[in-house]
Structure 1
């Protein structure tokens, strides 16, 4: 395995040798994992609306204040994964395969587990609730859904998706750290240090100000008759 950093590569489909600008790869990945992903996490953690008795009304638009947190979350994460796949593909092509460096290991691990976040979301189950797309607001027997009832499927999805997300962010930090060690770029190193401090400060301040809302109560409401509220009546 070649751990040397190539500075140029011959591309047969272009019929010529081109210079490799690794700073562009770095800025692409940093944008994905230190801007878009944290913004998506902060949005879903702190921007949910205050709980109402019956939650978010049916027909609420994706860009409405009550659902904007969800729109930001999935849009930013899908975009981040797309950028990461592009960045990884370019790196593999110009390196002529897997380099075997620590940065490559952590980088590929980040992208793989990032993709797993999207795959896991496909298995989160049905929505349900009083305002569900297939629910009759006047008939509670039609409100059933994996999320509304917090079925085992939904519980396992949340257990993986939340913890897997934080694990993937840890891999991204490791990838960035080893990348900077492998090829020092002042602007990247400074940005990583600054953005980590800023993100910590934002999370602490928003948590301290009470912006973090329980997802179930925010989405379905804080009425005590909702299934998961009944299950947590001691909380």
Structure 2
């Protein structure tokens, strides 16, 4: 049995009947997940500083480059989460509850993954490094931190956060596709295809031009005595020794 999209809803408590303009919901969600979120990802992926000996200079403001990509990434994604939860909640309220359609399931999965993404950011651990405000720039013993030392908490945070982020975008794409199956909007479908194609081309070009720098080296630098650099160099040497 096909799901009938309601054209009118009732505001709880107030009991006021209002028309539902689903095209506004579609435009808002599309703008959030295929303009704001991809830009936030691209800005951080390709906006990081080229590695230097000690990375980002000590005392750099979060609102100045090269710290700015991280600031924009966080603000944009937190804004996306808040707007998505609000828009989905409003739509569910006016339509009389969870519809159980594929669109609703993919939308719910997107929201859950997005909230987990925001929550995981609080589990990334301490920063550390020469630029840390609590560190003495001349005393390496004071540079310790979950990220600088690449301790398990930071390692697993990155493993989850990056992988789950792309999976969240996949769920959002499925939500858009199933939403269009319920309410066909040609210009949204065309814009969706153009945005996805343009994003792919842009990412390939920026990657090919060498703008995707290693996060650790970008933040802390390529000094061989940095813990994670030393660890990776040792792994490379061990791999070479194991070659027949």
Partner of 1:53: 53
* Residue range with higher mean Cα deviation, 64-73 or 204-213: 64-73
* Aligned mates of 2:72, 2:188 — CA distance in 1: 25
Partner of 1:124: 124
* Secondary structure in structure 1 of the residue aligned to 2:148: helix
Paired residues for 1:67-106 under 5 Å: 67-106=67-106
Contact 1:3–1:100 (Cα < 8 Å) also in 2: no
* Secondary structure in structure 2 of the residue aligned to 1:170: helix
Is it true that 1:204 corresponds to 2:204 in the alignment? yes
Partner of 2:19: 19
Partner of 1:108: 108
Contact 1:146–1:153 (Cα < 8 Å) also in 2: yes
Partner of 2:161: 161
Partner of 1:182: 182
What are the ranges of 5 or more consecutive residues in structure 1 without an aligned counterpart?
A: none
What are the ranges of 5 or more consecutive residues in structure 2 without an aligned counterpart?
A: 238-244
* Aligned mates of 2:12, 2:54 — CA distance in 1: 60
* Secondary structure in structure 1 of the residue aligned to 2:9: strand
Contact 1:2–1:100 (Cα < 8 Å) also in 2: no
Q: How many residues align?
A: 235
* Aligned mates of 1:76, 1:189 — CA distance in 2: 24
By how many angstroms is 1:12 displaced? 4.2
* Aligned mates of 2:180, 2:63 — CA distance in 1: 37
Partner of 1:222: 222
Partner of 1:31: 31
Kindly provide the CA deviation profile for residues 84-126 of structure 1, in whole angstroms up to 9, marking residues without a partner as x: 0111101110121110000000001001100100101100000
Alignment RMSD (CA, Å):
1.4
